[in-house]
């Protein structure tokens, strides 16, 4: 199972709360067979304990360690919010990237995404991408 597939990419999602955005990407991880439903609860708890906003208009929600048993396969869901999602403290995410990493994949996936998102040029490409294919090319994760 590929970590990132076209059906894991949500383009032009209308603005919503960060809770709804995290739930949306978590639900897509469930629907596409990457995680079991309780993983979403872990994602929301992670956000309560520490923001998953990483800067450059990007948030990478993932779960608390005690929920990793609910990960079936490593996966990424990318939700593009042209008008942004308020993550508090003036932080607005135009990209909400839900991740689930099985075993050592977790850190590998997270570091790859962090690398891509450190470059504002890449973030702009992702935030303005008109197709799932464009997003997959920028992230470069198969």
Residue 119 DSSP SS3: coil
Task: Specify the pTM.
Answer: 0.94
> What are the pLDDT tens digits along the chain (142 aa)?
688 889 999 999 999 999 999 999 999 999 999 999 999 999 999 999 999 999 999 999 999 999 999 999 999 999 999 999 999 999 999 999 999 988 877 677 778 888 999 999 999 999 999 999 999 999 886 5
Q: Which residue has the tokens 């996966």?
A: 75
Secondary structure in 3-state letters for 73-130? CCEEEEEEEEEEEECCCCCEEEEEEEEECCCCHHHHHHHHHHHHHHCHHHHHHHHHCC
> Catalytic positions, please?
62
List domains and CATH numbers for the chain: 6-132 (3.40.930.10)
């Amino acid at each position: 199972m590929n970590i990132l597939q076209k059906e894991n990419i949500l383009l032009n999602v209308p603005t919503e709360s960060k809770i709804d955005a995290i739930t949306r990407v978590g639900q897509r991880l469930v629907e596409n067979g990457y995680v079991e439903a309780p993983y979403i609860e872990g994602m929301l708890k992670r956000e309560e304990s520490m923001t998953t906003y990483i800067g450059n208009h990007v948030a990478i929600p993932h779960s608390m360690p005690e929920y990793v048993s609910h990960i079936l396969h490593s996966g990424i869901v990318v939700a593009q919010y042209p008008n942004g999602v308020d993550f508090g403290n003036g932080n607005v995410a135009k990209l909400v990237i839900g991740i689930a990493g099985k075993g050592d994949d977790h850190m590998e996936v997270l570091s790859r995404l962090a690398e891509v998102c450190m470059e504002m040029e890449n973030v702009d490409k992702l935030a303005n991408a008109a197709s799932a294919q464009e997003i997959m090319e920028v992230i470069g994760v198969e």
